[in-house]
Every structure is written in C-alpha cells, then in structure tokens.
Amino acid sequence: MKLPGLLLLAAATFAAQDSPLDFLNHNRPVRDAHNCYPYQGKWADRIDRALAGGFPVAIEQDIASDRGRVVVSHDAETTGSEPLLRDYFFERVRPIIEKALRDNDRAQWPLIVLHFDFKDNSIPLLRAVWEVLGHYDGWYATAVKGANPHELAPFDRKPLLILTEDNDNQEQVFFQDVPVGAKLRLFGSAHTKPVAKERLATAPPEDLLSAPPTNYRRWWNNGWSVVEEGGQHQAGDWTAADNRRLRALVDHAHRLGYWIRFYTLDGFGPGGDIGGWGNAYNFGSREAVLLRWKAVVAAGVNLIASDQYEDLAAVMK
C-alpha cells in the first residue's frame, strides 16, 4: 500500500533533479560581464578580463549591423571599426569550447552564457545572427521545438548557452520561424508587464510577471528600479525591506520557472571609473554596491550583471 507514495516521491525527486532551472549552474548565481566588448576604440580586453575570472561566466555582446555584417557594437549606428561577432566572441572562446567538448565534463556545462543585446531588431540582422550561430553548431545548448510552445523541452547540454531578450521580432526569427522538430539555438526573456514607473519597486511580483515560461522564453531580465525606487542613482541605505523585495522577486521568478537577471550593479566614487563603465548604473561607492552584491548572491539571482568584473568575481568566490 506504500508503493504509490514511494512512486510519487521518486517522481518528485526526479523532477526536482531535472528542473530546467538547474541547467544553469544548478540554479546558483553566475557573474555577468556587462557590455563585454570594445567601444570608442578602447577596452578591447574586456572579454579576456571576464574569462580570467573563472567559470561559469555570462558575457554580454551588444549586436548591430554594419553593411550586412554582424558586429559587436555599443551603438546602432556603426563606423566600420567594430569587430565581427564571429571574431571577437566565437573565435576567442574556440579553445575553451573545444577543450570542454574534448573533456566532456558535462556536469560543469554551460561554462559560458552568451547574452545578446540587440541594438537593431531588424529581421535581416536577426536572420544573419541565426546564420552565424549555424557555423558553431554543437557548441551551444539547444532544445527541440515542439508543437506546444508551453511545453518546455529539455536542454541538450553543451559548453555554451545563448540568451537573447524580449523583442517580438527576435521571437519571430528565433522561434516562430523554426520548424517543429528543429532545434532552438537561443532563448528569449519574458515580457515584463507594464506598470507605472512609480510602482516598479512596490508592485507585487505577479503584477510584473505572471505568465509561465515557454519553450523559447526562459528567463526574466530586470533593471534595479524594480528593487529600489529610482534605481541606482536614487538608492539610499540598503534596508531589510529592500532585501525582502529582492528575495520576493527572485522567489517569484523561480516559482514560475524562470532564471532571473538584474542589471547593472556598479559602485565607485569620483575618479573610480577605470574601464569606461560610465555612470548610468553607479550606486556611488564600493561600499554601497558591495552590500547589494552580497544580497543578490544570497538571494540566488541567476545572472548578476556588473562592469566591475574582477571585484564581483572576488566577492562571489
């Protein structure tokens, strides 16, 4: 008479072990190298710095078109000096990916999360990116597209995982246009429901996101203003209430079945920008950002974006 209960327990244990969330670092935090590419003719070493901090690591590449070429660019308007995505990212990580494939230590995969931030969502550019990915088949995790988009196919584990954002043109090219039975090469983020700006940090999490993941939309991307009103520039002391808000958002995302990312957590005083970081995401001091880095790690945020790659890596270790 106890057998059905044991079967249910075994099924629950199996399901927990095979949760899609566990695919990414066992649902533990990953350092996310924000704007990890050169711009203004400077900072070409960003990808080397990000990789030097160890694995797993997420690497953001902003994408634009330069006369039909897929380039890594900080701006939609290109100058012709921007590196090709193939050269700057894929060929740079080739030795890492090929060694990982030879070693076949699948428990550590994915080693790298490639995150696309498109500066231009035109269909021709999106299709060109899809074609670039075709040259690296076997490097990155895929999932089979089924007839029902609400059924999440399991990932085929590989050293690289590719994420993109919530634009509907991206879903058209990267999901809708893919035939049933073919492989999805990259995975989009959820649509956050619109709420008034003054309610972002107080709206119940379900008012921001209520739809469960789809086979294509697997993660949730958030600016810091959903945690602290006004975001980085208006953040005051880090409080217990702020920490509860952060944890409520993370727990809500995970209950639904999404990975969650927050961008971008920087902290430096006057003269502290040593890498072209800019002031857009600056909490104003290392002490202020350190409190938040520790909080997001403790809360289980999946992707923690920062321009301060080495400092964040040290804190996470």
In the chain, the percentage of residues whose pLDDT exceeds 90 is 91
CA distance 274 to 311: 12
Q: Which residues contact residue 292 at a Cβ distance below 8 angstroms, ignoring those fewer than 6 apart?
A: 238, 265, 267, 283
Distance in Å from the first CA to the final CA of the chain:
48
The pLDDT of residue 4 is above 60: no
Tell me the pLDDT of the chain averaged across its residues: 94
- Give the residue with greater pLDDT, 1 vs 185: 185
- The β-bridge relationship of strands 57-66 and 30-33 is parallel
Q: What is the mean pLDDT of residues 19-23?
A: 94
The pLDDT of residue 125 is above 80: yes
pLDDT, position 18: 62
| Number of neighbouring beta carbons within 10 Å of residue 236 | 10
Q: What is the mean pLDDT of residues 234-240?
A: 97
58-95: string of b/e by CB count within 10 Å (b at 16+)?
bbbbbbbbbeebbbbbbeeebeeebbebbebbbeebee
The pLDDT of residue 282 is above 80: yes
pLDDT, position 40: 83
The pLDDT of residue 17 is above 80: no
CA-wise closest residue to 263 among 224, 313, 219: 224
Please write the tens of the pLDDT for every residue from 143-190.
999 999 999 999 999 999 999 999 999 999 999 999 999 999 999 999
Axis-axis angle for helices 309-316, 286-299 (nearest 10): 50
Q: What is the mean pLDDT of residues 93-120?
A: 98
12 pLDDT tier (thresholds 50, 70, 90): very low
CA distance 10 to 16: 10
The string of DSSP letters for 172-238 reads: IIIIITSPTTSEE--BEEPPPPP--GGGTTTS-HHHH--SPP-SSEEEEEEEGGGTSTT-GGG--S-
Q: What is the mean pLDDT of residues 196-208?
A: 97
**Structural domain spans, the chain:** 28-189, 191-305
225: Cα within 13 Å, side-chain hemisphere: 14
- The β-bridge relationship of strands 217-223 and 259-263 is parallel
Asked if the peptide bond before residue 264 counts as cis, ω within 30 degrees of 0, the response is yes
Q: Give rounded-to-5 percent helix, strand, coil for the chain.
A: 40, 20, 40
The pLDDT of residue 1 is above 80: no
- The β-bridge relationship of strands 303-306 and 30-33 is parallel
Amino acid at 275: G
The pLDDT of residue 300 is above 90: yes
In the chain, the percentage of residues whose pLDDT exceeds 70 is 94
User: What is the SS3 assignment for 142?
Assistant: strand
pLDDT, position 150: 97
